[in-house]
Every structure is written in C-alpha cells, then in structure tokens.
Amino acid sequence: MATVASLWLDSFDPGYLLSSPLMLVATAFQIWMLVDAVRRREWIWVLCIFFFSVLSAAIYFFMVYRQLGPAGGGGIGGFELPGAGQRRRIKELQSRIYHLDHARDHLDLADIHFASGKMARAETGYRESLKRDSKDIDAIAHLGQCLLRQKRPQEARPLLEQALAQDSRHDYGHTQMAFAETLTALGETDAALGIWRQVLSQHGYARAKVQYAELLVARGDAATASRELNELISDDAHSPRFQRGRDRVWIKRAKRILSTARKSA
C-alpha cells in the first residue's frame, strides 16, 4: 500500500517523470483517458481516473474507449491531430478523382468542403460532379443548398425545385427545409410556411420548428408560435445528449423568439 501511495505521489514530481520513461508513458495514458472521459461527460469515470491513477484509466480504456472509440467518433486510432481523418479522406478523394474522375468522388469531396464551410470549393466540386452526371439528385440538391448558404437564393431555387420534383422527401426533409429557407430569403413567406408545415408533418426538426415559428410571429400569430416553441423546448429537455448538442443553437434561438412572442401576445 505504501508503495502504491509513494508511486502516486511521485507522479506529481516532474523530475521523477523525466527520469522514469515508464511513469511518463503511464501519465500520458492517464491524461489521454481523462480527457476522453471529460469530453463524454462521464464524471464518475473522471473522478476514478483522476484519483485512482493508471489502473482506472486502463479499465476505462477497455470498458468504454475500446467499445465506443474516441469521444466524438472516429474509431479507435490512438492519438490523432484534429482534422487528420478528414485530411486523409480529402487526399483519398483527390487521388480517386485524378485517376478515375467519377462524379460521386467529386460530390463526396464537395460535401466535405460544404461541411467545413468552404462554400466556394464546395460549389466547384458540385458543378464538376454534375458535368459528369447531370441527373444526380444529391449533387443537384447540395449545389442548391451551397448557393443558398452563399446568399444566392435565386440561383438555389430552381435546383432545389428540380431535386424535390424527383423526390419530395429527399435527404429526409433537409432539401425541403433548404427550399423553405430559400423561399423566405426571396420574400415568399406564405409559400415558405406551406413547406415548413409539410416538413413538420413528417419530422420534428428543431431547425424547422424554429423557423416556422419565426414566420408565425412575423405574421402576428404569436400564440401558435409559442405553442410550437414551448413543445420544442420541452422535448429538448428529454432528448439524448447528442441530439441536444446538435440542436443547441436552435434551442437558444427558440428561447429568444419565445420571449419576443410573449411580448407581442
């Protein structure tokens, strides 16, 4: 027992760490698992790893980390710089495009740029994909969304309409939501309200409920907007953690709109 306590105290001594490679590796491993547990908000594990040293970290590794992979996803791959997986995927797609030049590879690369907020690069990729397959509904719809994010709703509209003509439920309602946002940007709020109602008849997306409520408030229907937002906020309290993280920005926006709606009611 005294030996364990002595080792634990020695782990706080920088000189001891530098002179003991094994302890240095063990400490690095413990910190790695501690950070992962904090990112998962596994507070019991955080306390165990912090106070009971490497043994708890090893148990956490096999019971949690090895089963679920790193916090945030990505599989079990050890230490990795942020964005390293994405950079590998970009290089892989660039290589495939160079050798094979398939429409789908252009589309996949454009989707990565879109997700990273690099809209100009994404637009180029979508257009290159459509040069090779002009009927690809994903490329059509995603180019429309890309143009919308660049505040070019007039150009986005015909593309989104074309995609929805092929599949009104494309991308699980996300294309419909982009179309509703496009109509709102063009000032066609009545048509936008109709699209939001279609989306909400099939899905409970926070993105849809919040923007639908915004249009209702603008039209003076604060009571209906308040009901929608109160329901959304209530549901959010019982949603899974990953869903709450994804919807956080919309819940904040919902609370702001609800405050405005109450004042105008």
- Per-residue buried b or exposed e for 244-258, using 16+ beta carbons within 10 Å of the residue's own CB: eeebeebbebbeebb
Q: For the residues 65-94, what does the mean pLDDT come to? A: 62
Identify the pLDDT of residue 184: 97
Q: What is the pLDDT of residue 66?
A: 66
pLDDT at 19 over 80: no
Average pLDDT over residues 70-76: 49
Which pLDDT belongs to residue 72? 53
What confidence category does residue 78 fall into, taking pLDDT thresholds of 50, 70 and 90? very low
Nearest to 38 by CA among 57, 25, 19, 24: 57
pTM for the model stands at 0.68
> What would the mean pLDDT of 81-100 be, rounded to a whole number?
81
Range list of β-strands (E), 18-125: none
> pLDDT value at position 20?
62
When mean pLDDT is compared across 8-22, 24-38, 145-159, the lowest value belongs to 8-22
Band of pLDDT at residue 96, cut at 50, 70 and 90: very high
Higher model confidence: residue 117 or residue 158? 158
What was the pLDDT predicted at 85?
Answer: 65
Determine the pLDDT at residue 68: 58
- Name residues whose C-beta falls within 8 Å of residue 19's C-beta, 6 or more positions apart in sequence: none
Average pLDDT over residues 140-149: 96
Sign of CA dihedral 190, 193, 198, 199: positive
For the segment 198-208, what is each residue's pLDDT rounded down to a tens digit?
999 999 999 99
Q: Give the span between the Cα atoms of 195 and 130, in whole angstroms.
A: 26
Give per-residue pLDDT as tens, 204-246. Answer: 999 999 999 999 999 989 999 999 999 999 998 888 888 888 8
**Between these two residues, 210 and 50, which has the higher pLDDT value?**
210
Question: Would you state the pLDDT for residue 4?
Answer: 38
CB 184 within 8 A of CB 195: no
In the 8-state DSSP scheme, what is residue 262?
A: H
